[in-house]
């Protein structure tokens, strides 16, 4: 099993020295990956229900803000050499797919082939409205945009035409270094999300799923993959526990063992911004507690 870091890089608490501390510490202590979330806008009040808390409340306020993932990953690429760099997750239907393809390929190019594109359909209707993007049919829009992105990554002069996007024959460079393309990790727990993993994913990025829930959903994913002639061996199973009881920065090692038993390939631990020395100390403590254990599982 591998251990990654979800870097909760909220602003104004994450200036450059803190971002750099995350990257250098993750690499120094041997973590597999760093993942960044995405919200272009947050709000003081929400009608939308956050899908990962029992009461539907979002655990942070609108003043927190989140650093933009692709520019931040490009910065992390400049201060690291080996750790993988991922979006956890990129809100695909809110973004122009050409820019998503371009920006992710650019990070892959600058990092020497270390980019992972974690994607999801989004949950915050207020953010969609503010960005002038329809909230309805966002799942179908995501599928369309992922097809556009894959074509731009892999074809010399692709085109695409459907109800959600028209791309005339066009060229986009640079192409990703990774072949056949950047791994796509699909976020979400629903049947629709798992169908998307089976159809388009090289990974499943599960958020706030405990080991028992993961154990319930993996047979569903296995069946959906088999229907397409694929197997679980072709998909990386990653989970960010975050709000799951017994996890976080004080995760019980027995919970890590349970994740490995049910089939997780990578557990991604959340670390919040602090002063650079505190970031390094937190990462060192996590490494001492979990990395050797994970390597043995």
Sign of CA dihedral 10, 11, 12, 18: positive
Q: Which of 61-70, 85-94, 169-178, 180-189 has the least mean pLDDT?
A: 61-70
pLDDT, tens only, 255-286? 899 999 999 999 999 998 889 999 999 999 99
Confidence band for 250, pLDDT divided at 50, 70 and 90: low
Average pLDDT over residues 37-48: 93
Confidence band for 251, pLDDT divided at 50, 70 and 90: confident
Q: What is the pLDDT of residue 282?
A: 92
Q: What is the pLDDT of residue 52?
A: 83
CB 243 within 8 A of CB 265: no
Residue ranges of domains in the chain: 2-296
Predicted model pTM:
0.96
3-class DSSP assignment, residue 191 = helix
Q: What is the pLDDT of residue 209?
A: 87
d(CA 150, CA 71) in angstroms, rounded, equals 21
Class of domain 2-296: alpha beta
- For 103, counting Cβ atoms within 10 Å of its Cβ (0-12 exposed, 13-18 middle, 19+ buried), the class is buried
Whether the upstream peptide bond of residue 173 has omega within 30° of 0, thus cis, is: no
Residue 242 in this model has a pLDDT that exceeds 80: no
User: What mean pLDDT, rounded, does the chain reach?
Assistant: 94
d(CA 113, CA 150) in angstroms, rounded, equals 16
Q: What is the pLDDT of residue 55?
A: 86
């Amino acid at each position: 099993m591998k251990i990654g870091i979800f870097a909760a890089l909220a602003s104004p608490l994450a200036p450059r020295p803190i971002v750099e501390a995350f990257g250098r510490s993750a690499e120094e202590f041997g973590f597999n990956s760093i993942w960044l979330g995405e919200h272009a806008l947050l709000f003081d009040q929400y009608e939308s229900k956050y899908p990962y808390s029992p009461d539907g409340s979002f655990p942070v306020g609108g003043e927190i803000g989140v650093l933009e993932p692709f520019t931040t990953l490009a910065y992390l690429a400049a201060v690291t050499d080996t750790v993988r760099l991922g979006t956890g997750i990129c809100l695909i239907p809110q973004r122009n797919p050409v820019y998503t393809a371009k920006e992710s390929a650019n990070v892959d190019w600058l990092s020497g082939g270390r980019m992972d594109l974690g994607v999801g359909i989004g949950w915050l209707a207020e953010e969609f409205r503010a960005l002038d993007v329809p909230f309805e049919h966002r799942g179908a829009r995501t599928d369309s945009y992922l097809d556009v992105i894959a074509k731009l990554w892999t074809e010399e002069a692709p085109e695409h035409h459907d109800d959600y996007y028209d791309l005339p024959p066009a060229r986009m460079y640079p192409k990703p270094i990774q072949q056949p393309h950047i791994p796509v990790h699909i976020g979400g727990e629903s049947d629709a999300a798992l169908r998307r993993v089976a159809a388009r994913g090289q990974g499943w990025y599960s958020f706030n799923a405990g080991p028992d829930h993961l154990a319930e959903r993996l047979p569903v994913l296995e069946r959906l993959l088999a229907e397409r002639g694929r197997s679980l061996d072709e998909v990386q199973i990653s989970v960010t526990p975050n709000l799951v009881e017994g996890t976080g920065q004080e995760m019980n090692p027995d919970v890590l063992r349970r994740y490995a038993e049910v089939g997780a390939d990578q557990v991604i631990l959340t670390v919040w911004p602090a002063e650079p020395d505190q970031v390094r100390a937190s990462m060192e403590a996590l490494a001492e507690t979990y990395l050797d254990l994970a390597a043995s599982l």
